[in-house]
């Protein structure tokens, strides 16, 4: 294994990247400072599938990125590496996905009594397997965190980062979550699945260490979710996409809005980035696209405002990248979001610096 110093001396960031490596970077999980946990899982998706292919699509597209970032000139030197994609979990996801889909179709058909007995055990099976997945993600995260690494999750559907969030609660007694998303994800056991992609923030808020949830860009949510926000006594702050756009139309600057949103967060922040928080033209194959959303640089400006505020990013996830049949565009956008998330986290932890 080459040392970091040797890599700095021999690798040309403007040349041909390392074959088959994330971003073409010649780092391993041993000498990288940031390690990604890929989670190819999408058991409870209730609209379009494909998120389980997100880690591979993002990795494949990542080699097309130029590594230079003008405001973080040494970004590539951070060292980013990804653990191997678990094909065992992918196979289990595929198996359970069809099982869960049968249950969802039964619900959509009005829960006909004739099939009730046959299907009644499906939620329990899915929930038990989801617990095993969460425990696996947590164990992977704890191992890397114990080694001094920064850690992120690359999903998979949005249920996948719960294990990382759980691991971070053992290191931080108080932190907030900044959620960029089209959906509130505050449903309790959606469609009978406790660890549904639509329940990730409901589940994350069960951890006492999560003192604040700031949701940004939300544009599709249920009445029960709105009621949960209202009843949270300020623990959940939701910025609807429509309201943000109206305020901008009426003359408020994105800079001031970003500063307002960041000011609601504590000093330690976890970022949960569902790709469908972006305008669907940037992620057309994501599982549950919704009209509206952010331009790429709007979202990056928000994250940069967070880092410039002095807050520390303690972890992140990028989820719901679904490549579709062709895959190049969604994976390309996902890889660019991922690279910026990684490097902004590093700046917040003083491992890299802004120009």
Within a domain: 233: yes
Cα 289 to Cα 228: distance, rounded to the nearest angstrom? 23
Kindly indicate the confidence band of residue 116, based on its pLDDT and cuts at 50, 70 and 90.
Answer: low
pLDDT given at position 123:
81
> DSSP string covering 172-189, please?
-SSEEEEEE-SB----SS
Residue carrying structure tokens 């600057």: 253
Within a domain: 104: no
pLDDT given at position 292:
98
pLDDT > 90? residue 137: yes
**Mean local confidence (pLDDT), 82-98:** 93
pTM given for the model: 0.95
**Hey, what are 143's tokens?**
């191992």
pLDDT given at position 234:
98
Cα 97 to Cα 84: distance, rounded to the nearest angstrom? 22
- Cα separations in angstroms, 293 against 58, 180, 236, 238, 279: 21, 10, 20, 14, 4
Within a domain: 102: no
Name the residue among 167, 164, 95 with its Cα closest to residue 129.
95
**Hey, what are 27's tokens?**
């780092």
CB atoms within 10 A of CB 120: 12
Cα 96 to Cα 107: distance, rounded to the nearest angstrom? 17
Query: ∠ CA 246-252-257 to the nearest 5 degrees?
Result: 90
Within a domain: 125: no
**Hey, what are 33's tokens?**
């400072």
Q: Based on the structure, what is the number of domains in the chain?
A: 1
State the residue range of the domain holding 77.
Answer: 4-86+130-348
List the beta bridge partners of residue 319. 274
List the beta bridge partners of residue 176. 212, 269
Name the residue among 7, 75, 91, 80 with its Cα closest to residue 41.
91
Cα 89 to Cα 86: distance, rounded to the nearest angstrom? 5
Tell me which of 126 and 275 has the higher pLDDT.
275
Within a domain: 108: no
Q: Are 147 and 32 in contact (CB under 8 A)?
A: no
Q: Are 338 and 294 in contact (CB under 8 A)?
A: no
Q: Are 75 and 341 in contact (CB under 8 A)?
A: no
pLDDT given at position 183:
97
List the beta bridge partners of residue 316. 152, 271
Kindly indicate the confidence band of residue 1, based on its pLDDT and cuts at 50, 70 and 90.
Answer: low
pLDDT given at position 14:
93
Within a domain: 159: yes
Kindly indicate the confidence band of residue 109, based on its pLDDT and cuts at 50, 70 and 90.
Answer: low
Within a domain: 93: no
The overall average pLDDT reported for the chain is: 93
pLDDT given at position 111:
67
pLDDT given at position 281:
97
pLDDT given at position 327:
59
pLDDT > 80? residue 115: no
pLDDT > 90? residue 325: no
Name the 3-class secondary structure at 49.
coil
pLDDT for 17-58, tens place per residue? 888 899 999 999 999 999 999 999 998 876 778 899 999 999
pLDDT for 215-266, tens place per residue? 999 999 999 999 999 999 999 999 999 999 999 999 999 999 999 999 999 9
Q: What CATH number corresponds to the domain at position 150?
A: 3.40.800.10
Within a domain: 180: yes
Kindly indicate the confidence band of residue 191, based on its pLDDT and cuts at 50, 70 and 90.
Answer: confident
Name the residue among 190, 197, 327, 338 with its Cα closest to residue 271.
338
pLDDT given at position 107:
63
Cα 150 to Cα 80: distance, rounded to the nearest angstrom? 9
pLDDT given at position 199:
95
pLDDT > 80? residue 348: yes
């Amino acid at each position: 294994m080459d040392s970091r110093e040797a890599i700095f001396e021999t690798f040309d960031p403007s040349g041909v990247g390392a074959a088959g490596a994330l971003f073409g970077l010649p780092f391993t999980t041993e000498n990288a400072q940031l390690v990604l946990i890929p989670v190819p899982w999408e058991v409870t998706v209730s609209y379009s599938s494909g998120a389980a292919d997100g880690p591979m699509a993002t990795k494949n597209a990542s080699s097309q990125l130029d590594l230079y970032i003008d405001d973080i000139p040494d970004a590539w030197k951070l060292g980013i590496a990804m653990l191997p994609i678990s094909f065992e979990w992918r196979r289990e996801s595929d198996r359970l996905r069809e099982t869960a889909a049968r249950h969802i179709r039964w619900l959509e058909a009005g829960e006909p009594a004739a099939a009730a007995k046959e299907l009644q055990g499906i939620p329990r099976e899915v929930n038990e397997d989801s617990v095993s997945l969460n425990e696996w993600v947590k164990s992977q995260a704890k191992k890397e965190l114990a080694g001094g690494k920064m850690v992120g999750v690359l999903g998979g559907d949005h249920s996948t980062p719960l294990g990382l969030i759980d691991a971070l609660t053992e290191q931080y007694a108080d932190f907030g979550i900044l959620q960029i998303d089209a959906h509130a994800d505050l449903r309790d056991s959606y469609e009978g699945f406790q660890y549904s992609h639509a329940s990730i923030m409901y589940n994350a808020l069960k951890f006492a260490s999560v003192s604040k949830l700031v949701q940004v860009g939300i544009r599709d949510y249920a009445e029960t979710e709105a009621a949960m926000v209202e009843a949270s006594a300020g623990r959940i702050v939701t910025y609807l996409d429509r309201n943000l756009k109206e305020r901008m139309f009426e003359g408020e600057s994105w800079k001031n809005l970003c500063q307002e949103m960041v000011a609601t967060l504590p000093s330690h922040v976890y970022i949960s980035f569902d790709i469908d928080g972006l305008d669907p033209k940037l992620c057309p194959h994501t599982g549950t696209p919704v009209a509206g959303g952010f331009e790429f640089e709007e979202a990056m400006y928000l994250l940069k405002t967070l880092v410039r505020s002095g807050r520390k990013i303690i972890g992140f996830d990028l989820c719901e990248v679904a490549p579709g049949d062709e895959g190049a565009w969604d994976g390309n956008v996902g890889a660019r979001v991922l690279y910026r998330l990684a490097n902004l986290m590093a700046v917040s932890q003083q491992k890299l610096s802004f120009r």
